[in-house]
Amino acid sequence: MEIKKVAVIVGSLRKESFNRKVANEMIRLAPEGLELNIVEIKDLTFFSEDIENDPPQEWLNFKQKISDSDAVIFVSPEYNRTIPGVLKNAMEIGARPPKLNSWKGKPGAVVTVSPGAIGGLGSNQTIRIAASNVHISVMAQPEAYIGGIKDKLLEDGVTVDEKTEKFLVTFLEAFKAWTEKF
């Protein structure tokens, strides 16, 4: 069986991020054939066209990790009804210069996680738009908006409850089928 390497991009830098917890749960729950790994974005400097032709090593390392992956999953919060700045910055770095777009042609998916009721709907939709514009083929269904995350973590504060785990397994199985189309 072919193993698909999946870059997981977490759009939150917070140490105790709910999104990182969910990303780690997705890594734990990944079906056979998917190998999920978090690709860090915290050390990326701000994108600037002034340095894209002689980029810092952190950019090159990031772009290489994305290029080496077969697929990508964004796991992100919502900030002010839109995409976190650090995530948008990472998307720009990965996409530039256009001839060296590390995202191009990859299948992708979006999961948004929030303590609020609507689960990051605004961010999810914005990430989908941005991802498609850097040539990621985003899985349409199932959509993943995980609201009320504080009530979905078990007492350890890390592991998700049974219903959320079942949803994540279903989501990852669908994503696996999506990656197999590419």
- Global model pTM greater than 0.95: yes
Q: How confident is the model at residue 45 (pLDDT cuts 50, 70, 90)?
A: very high
Give per-residue pLDDT as tens, 119-153: 999 999 999 999 999 999 999 999 999 999 999 99
Give the pLDDT confidence score for residue 1 in this predicted structure: 73
What is the Cβ-side half-sphere exposure of residue 29, based on CA atoms within 13 angstroms? Answer: 22
List CB contacts of 145: < 8 A, sequence separation 6 or more.
112, 114, 118, 119, 120, 121, 124
Give the pLDDT confidence score for residue 36 in this predicted structure: 98
Q: Which of 70, 139, 152, 67 is nearest to 109 (CA)?
A: 139
> Which helix (H) or strand (E) element contains residue 92?
helix 85-95
Give per-residue pLDDT as tens, 46-102: 999 999 989 999 999 999 999 999 999 999 999 999 999 999 999 999 999 999 999
| Pair type for strands 4-10 and 137-138 | unpaired
The domain limits of the chain are: 4-179
Give the pLDDT confidence score for residue 179 in this predicted structure: 97
Q: Which of 63, 56, 53 is nearest to 93 (CA)?
A: 63
| Multiple choice CATH, 4-179, 3.40.50.360, 3.50.50.60, 2.70.70.10, 3.30.1050.10 | 3.40.50.360
Contact assessment for residue 177 and residue 102, using Cβ atoms and an 8 Å cutoff: no
